Chains A and B, each alone.
Chain A
Amino acid sequence: MILGDWRWFWPETLQYFSPIPSAWDSSLNTGIGQSGLATLWINQYLNLTASLTHLGIPWWTVSLLFWQLPPLILSAIGAFYAYGKFFPENKKWGYFASLVYTCNTYFFLMYLGGQLGVALAYGLFPFVIGRFISFFHTRHTSRDIALNGLLLGFLVVFDIRIAFLAAILIGVSWLYFSRHYKKFISGIMLPFGIAGGLHTYWILPLVLFRQNPLNQYGVTSTAEATLSFFSFADFSHALSLLHPNWPENIFGKTYFLQPEFLLIPLIAFCSLLLMKEQEKLIRFLALVALGGVFLSKGVQDPFGTLYEWFYKTIPGFTMFRDPTKFYVVTAFSYAMLIPHTLAGLFNIKNRVFNIVGVILFVGLWIWPLRLHAIKIVDSFRPYTIPEEYGRLTRFLADQPQFFRTLWIPQWQRYGYFSDLHPAIGRFEVLTDASASGQLTQLEVPDIRNRLTALSVKYIIIPYDSQGELFLNDRKFDEKQYVDALSSMRKTGWVREIGGFGKIGVFEVTNPRGGRFFYEGTSDGGNLSYIRKSPSRYEVITDNDRPIPIVFSEKYDPLWKVYPGTDENVSDRTQHNLNRFYVPENIPAFSVEYEPQQGVYWGLAVSVLTFIFITYSVKKKRE
């Protein structure tokens, strides 16, 4: 099944996925290693679900059951659930809430783009908001508090930005509906505390080691230029809940507004004219919708500088470099308001009129979205992976020693990688966007030395089966692919290995190999090591020479030698790897990523929290 950015994993890759969270990411999102703390909340869900393949369940089944189907199901049921919570007397109109929330351009493009983590959060969002807001009106039990905390915890797992939006919305709703301190404690503090407890396994090490998880969202970028670029949606797009990249979903390409979508806000806000019951809630939802619309346009006029001010001033707002995340809020409010308008319009005694009106509405809603709805259904169709990628996977995976592969211009979605054989192909070493530019960079001696230090054994020119890598004007350009192959064939320090169809595989002559080696040696020296986990290695040396040892992962000062002193921390090599000065007469030592200890402590708290939640939930039933 193919869905945009969604990933495929070979069984040989999946065997390295572990249910125990790791603070170091040695191969999942990078080929040279990096701290995994900033994205551990979503990566851990991936690791947990991927670990199910160890029980013999194929990845495509896991992907379907835990990633691809849930957003569709959750968003439909969640919207229905939330509508029922808000308007219990009009529950049957909740089906339209499901329709509006699930079938809109924002969700469709997000889903088809393969952003399944965000889609899962989008699906869970109505559950969270519905439960929390109704909590302020009704009596509650400890079970409700525990469930709310659990749901919020899950929302953080899938997307921390949408969880942030939910938190803001919950806070505002408490101010509007309650303002009672007891409800604040039971409705906000306790569930948030429970959610925080569930996520202690990644929060604790971030706090202990003072790492900012927001750095991944480009906090250090030039705010104005970045915000301006990412503010794709203009005001009318934001108002109409029309994704600016609709319909082609090409990043950066925006399209003109289509008139039928302007009817959406018209219908939604007509609910203000039809308010009879639940006026307070309608007002609140309208206010939320207005806020979502205003923020979704980012720095575009009118009053775009306000967004820039928010970005620079409000803590956490730097997560919203891409303002289209606020579409979630708009979608949710419209999903609650539109059925309310319909309930007011089609509540007359003429049954025929009501039925025809409803059918007309559903038809007009679905019609502009029909092609993309077909694409979503089509995405569940099995797709045959090019056979050469299977051959390449087996060839690489069968080799027991550690090495890396370098993919030019990028790692291909069916490319093999694992902790034993990481794949470099996300501009970690070669930074040029084009294949020709990267091949030119390869000629630089310093780059070749870096590849040696990284133990790169194979350079791969992938077969671009999906037309995603060799692009000219957003279209596949065969010439770029052919030129890249031809250029590699002329490179003197590699030899081509045939037998992989359209994939060009080139073996580096005299690769180094090994994750650890003595600095300055060509063969690496007499070193052996055991990989205990991505964040822990046990190394055995002869150690009869006082030469520093290089650990071939991206430099991070939190890598340490044990046993050792404070001086046995990682030093940066010229190729941005880790260097250790190991004390003499220590033939065996371990190299550990220090935050992993924080992960273990945090994991204990998370498990205890989970046990507490389970007990609270069961207690009511007993």
Chain B
Amino acid sequence: MKRVLYFGFSAILIAYWVMMTFLFNNRLSFSVMSYPQPFESEQVIPDKPLLKNDTVTLEFAAKENHLGIIYVRFNKPEMTAFEREDRLAFRLKSKESGKIIEEGIIRSGLIRKVPFIPFGFTPIDTSKHQTYILEIESLFGDGENSVSFSNYEPRLVTAYKFSREEITSSVPQFLTFMFERNIQYFSSFRSLELLSVLLIYLIPFITLWIFKSSKKSVVPYKESVSICLVFFTSFFYTYFVTLDEIPVVVLFQTFIVWIFLIWVYHLGRNISLMVSIVWMIAAVIALVIYPTPNIFAQKSSVWFYLFLVVGVAQSFIEEIRTKNKKLSTSARKGAVE
């Protein structure tokens, strides 16, 4: 029975890994394929904040048909009152004809919330291999409300929205689409980043496998290995994967895995507290090395808080257990007397 349960759980966790790593990996719709667009060598991307009338021109060649979203990565601007926000004009032009295909205005307040901002428009069905120009002009930049381009890659990503009929017309078609989609997604990562992205959703399975491995197995010190695995995977994911915030799924998954480790290995509250302290020290070091933007410190703080909450909860549970133990001991003593 236990074996059946174990294999069942393992299958579920593997399926979870496949889904999160290969199907729902880029947080876009299922039918959207995205490509990072490296900037052409002759393109000059200013690193200073954009002031009023400053215009940046980005040229790129579309990789597929159905171009429908362009993501541009900015640094998180300072918060300003709504009426004082900068407004950025986005204009998509065809290089060949020079005509404006699409334009829109995005406020700096929205970029503050979503620094990797999407500029969406009606999909261009015949975009493949066409060269486009994206112009970004600051309309009210005054230094205080200005935005600047991020240095973190990818800074420009184009996304192509395929129709469901096109993708699901046959199984080979679907598999081909998913294969190409994932190749594009994973090819944008550097090695450590790729490893983190591939491993992070596998942690639940690995910790379960370590736990179930027999006592005479090749995995000594199962407890320590599991703790280090959880910590270092989340550490690499936090520091090497370019995300402005940790996905809620990753937070929740780590929380569940940690609770599992506490339960099976009877980890004391001090372990959780020590891990949280390590995260806080990591946040301080990150802030010293990368003062702005402070997304690393922000993400580390979230981990610190998570493990701290677990540690505090554990101390409450330990208190209740100690109290119950004392009560049952004194009850037994009373019965004996």
Binding site for B on A (CB under 8 A): 229, 232, 234-236, 239, 252-259, 262-263, 265-266, 269-270, 272-273, 275, 279-280, 283, 286-287, 290, 293-294, 301-303, 473-474
Contact = CB atoms under 8 A, between A and B. Distances in A.
Given A253-B79, A269-B277, A283-B316, A259 B245 contact: no
A592 B153 CA distance: 69
B211 to A, nearest CB: 27
B301 A235 contact: yes
A273 B277 CA distance: 10
A269 B273 contact: yes
Given A269-B276, A270-B277, A259 B305 contact: no
Interface in B253-287: 269-270, 273-274, 276-277, 280-281, 283-284, 287
Contact of B315 (A235, A239, A266, A283): A283
A263 B277 contact: no
Interface stretch (B43-51, B290-298, B326-334): B290-298
Contact of A236 (B288, B298, B311): B298
A302 B280 contact: no
B273 A272 contact: yes
B312 A239 contact: no
B277 A252 contact: no
The list of the 8 closest CB pairs from A to B, nearest first, reads A259-B287, A236-B301, A254-B79, A266-B280, A262-B284, A257-B294, A236-B298, A259-B288
B77 to A, nearest CB: 10
Q: Is the interface of B mostly helix, strand, loop or mixed?
A: helix
Contacts of A258: 287
Contacts of B246: 302
B312 A286 contact: yes
Taking chain A's interface residues, is the majority helix, strand, or loop, or is none over half, making it mixed? Answer: helix
A259 B312 contact: no
B293 A256 contact: yes
Given A239-B305, A290-B312, A252 B294 contact: no
A294 B305 CA distance: 9
B199 to A, nearest CB: 22
Contacts of B301: 235-236, 239, 262
Contact of B305 (A256, A262, A293): A293
B280 A234 contact: no
A236 B286 CA distance: 13
Contacts of A265: 280, 304
A163 to B, nearest CB: 26
A270 B304 CA distance: 12
Contacts of A236: 283, 294, 297-298, 301
Contact of A290 (B248, B280, B308): B308
A232 B246 CA distance: 20
18 contacts: A229-B81, A235-B298, A235-B302, A252-B79, A252-B81, A253-B78, A259-B288, A259-B291, A262-B283, A262-B287, A266-B280, A270-B277, A275-B315, A283-B312, A290-B305, A290-B308, A302-B245, A473-B144
A257 B297 contact: yes
A384 to B, nearest CB: 32
A272 B311 contact: yes
Residue among A236, A263, A269, A275 with the highest chain B CB neighbour number at 10 A: A236
B107 to A, nearest CB: 13
B251 interface: yes
Given A239-B304, A279-B319, A290 B309 contact: yes
A263 B284 contact: yes
A301 to B, nearest CB: 5
Nearest to A238: B301
Contacts of B288: 259
B82 interface: yes
A294 B293 CA distance: 22
Contact of B319 (A259, A283, A294): A283
Nearest to A255: B78
A178 to B, nearest CB: 15
Given A257-B297, A262-B284, A302 B302 contact: yes
B193 interface: no
Contacts of A252: 79-81
B312 A256 contact: no
A86 B273 CA distance: 23
A255 to B, nearest CB: 8
B164 to A, nearest CB: 30
Given A257-B297, A257-B298, A266-B284, 16 more contacts: A236-B283, A252-B79, A253-B80, A259-B284, A259-B297, A262-B280, A262-B283, A265-B280, A266-B277, A266-B281, A270-B277, A272-B269, A273-B273, A275-B315, A287-B316, A290-B312
